[in-house]
Amino acid sequence: MADTTAAAVAWLRTPEAVRERCHAIFAAGEQGRLGHFALRLDRLPDLARLVAGVIRDNYPSLAIPYHSRWRHFAVGGRDRWAGLRQRLAGASADEIARVRFDLAVTSVLLDAGAGAAWRYREPASGETFARSEGLAVASFDLFVAGAFSSVPGEPLRADADGLARFSPEKLVAGFQVSDGNPLVGVAGRAAILRNLGSALKREPDLFGRPPRIGNLFDHLARLEPLRAADILAAVLRGFAPIWPGRITLGGENLGDVWRHPAAGGSGASAGLVPFHKLSQWLSYSLIEPLEDAGHPVADVGALTGLPEYRNGGLFIDGGVLLPKHAAVLAGSHAVDSEIVVEWRALTVALLDRIAAPINQELGRDLSLPKILEGGTWNAGRRLARERRADGAPPIAVDSDGTVF
């Protein structure tokens, strides 16, 4: 029984499991068996044309980078990483990659939805940013200030001891949070980073001694061939203990895994739907540091689309997902509610479905992470702004700062 449970946990931590369970829920939707959403797949071609147009607007040459945190560090036409890179003159390619891992991981784990009201005024430029871009710039500034380092004179690192000391007060100060500038999930975000400090110490073969996030680069760089799924596997293994209040199986924290009656399956994993949104977003964000350091990553398209509110909102605002009852769009829903789990699962499956017609419109064969970066996320944001004055997603989700 223990071996069966361990096998179920291992399987739930794969992109194949994400796709299988999400497509099972999608199949139930095609049969009209879901409780909260109906599918209008006849509207998918029109939505694909809209997304293709957004891609052309954003990247006229169709030279599209991966969907990753690095795009947000260049918001406002200022490449912050390039400026920081100059401070690392003389460092080895491997050490630069470790710094990039330190930065990307801490930034992504602090990027779980800001709420509509929060803003960050960047001291260096005087510009103000909101939502994901604001979270990126704020977390970048925290990193540069040494908020995650325990080594005097070496601010550009994130190690176990430095993370263990990270407090909600530091986050409030660094992210300029106040009664007039509220950020959702402050305590949850800070707890994630403190939990990460403990997690690094549990896995010395991943994070080295003394434990540091950046040492994960060395572990991955030794893998030949290195596949995108290997990055996700290491992230899910190394960071498993950090997630609060999640479903456990055989004593293992499953993270971004939830229940839905249409998920199917058998045995210990029956009814469970894995998403691993932040972990996959993080895995996408680690590809560039690896490749820039000379370690190409294969099978990037094996990872799935990200089930978050911009991609999910695209399909609701684009008329492909139709709420079956008024409660879907009314009030606010818990992350583990059947409505939210259903919405997220359908989003993953629909991102797989829309990729082919988008490529047909563009006359290209773009991988899914490039379609995410070039179009679906931005198209979702564009439709949200057209339909709602505050640009909020169509469904409100109660966030603790650790999922979206």
How far is it between the farthest Cα atoms of the chain?
Answer: 61
Using DSSP bridges, classify how beta strands 272-274 and 257-259 pair: parallel, antiparallel or unpaired. Answer: antiparallel
pTM of the model: 0.91
Q: How confident is the model at residue 1 (pLDDT cuts 50, 70, 90)?
A: very low
As a whole number of angstroms, the distance between CA 104 and CA 322 comes to 36
Residue range 14-37: mean pLDDT, rounded: 98
pLDDT (0 to 100) of residue 115: 73
pLDDT in tens, 302-325: 999 999 989 999 999 999 999 999
> What stretches of 219-275 adopt beta strand conformation (E)?
248-249, 252-253, 257-259, 272-274
37-72: pLDDT as tens digits? 999 999 999 999 999 999 999 999 999 988 889 989
- What are the domain boundaries of the chain? 2-398
Confidence tier at 398 by pLDDT (50, 70, 90): confident
Residues in the chain: 404
Summarised one tens digit per residue, pLDDT across range 231-264 is 999 999 999 889 877 899 999 999 999 999 999 9
Binning pLDDT at 50, 70 and 90, where does residue 131 land? confident
**How much is the average pLDDT of 67-81?**
92
The string of pLDDT tens digits covering residues 180-197 is: 999 888 888 899 899 999
